Amino acid sequence: MLNFLFKKQRQIESLIYGYLENFGIIQEHFSKALNVCLENSACEDFDFLTEQTHKFESKADDIRDEIKNLMYGKALIPESRGDIMRLVEEIDRVPSLFQMILYTIETQKLVIPEFIIPDIKELIRLSLVSCDLMVEQVEALFKRREGIRVLLATIDHHESHCDHIERSIITKIFDSDLDPFQKLQLKDLVIDMGEISDQVDRVSKRINIISMKRIV
């Protein structure tokens, strides 16, 4: 019986590492698609990279569901099933944001004005750095490594900086001579972009709580 439960535990950990690997692929396609959009909004590569992002986001959903099925099949792992499942679901909201941002640009035919492109690039750069740190946190949690709180502090710092950049971009949009409807479209897009770092910060805090429960 113990061997059976240990095997299921290892299966869940393997699926989670597989999820993280797939997360990295989604992130890479999202980053490339957005860079293409910012450099050349009419480029056909944008549509292809958007679809690739969707493809791997769907794969992430499949892995998440497989983890859930194993988890509620009485697989035994050190943390409670509820804690780990909520963590996976929180992480899974990040790829959904990637997909939503790209679909918004694609379906609304948005063209990003040049005067906010540098700020948007910095907002996305910091957000993706935080995503990388979040993945490090998850690996540290399951491999029982130290450093989770240090990563938490760095992610929290990036989230605050991203909030500042987000507000600055929106101010520039509404101070401009753009069409009022275009201003609203761009504002909503920037808010969605800023949500990446916000969500990563929420995940980071959840990881820290799970880690602290081990000590209590």
Q: Which of 86, 84, 88, 79 is nearest to 216 (CA)?
A: 79
DSSP 91: H
Q: For residue 205, what are the domain limits?
A: 2-215
pLDDT single digits (tens) 77-130: 545 667 888 898 999 999 999 999 999 998 998 989 999 999 999 999 999 999
Instruction: Give the separation between CA 67 and CA 16, rounded to whole angstroms.
Output: 7
Residue 74's domain is classified under what CATH number? 1.20.58.220
The total domain count for the chain is 1
pLDDT tens by residue, 160-208: 999 999 999 999 999 999 999 999 999 999 999 999 999 999 999 999 9
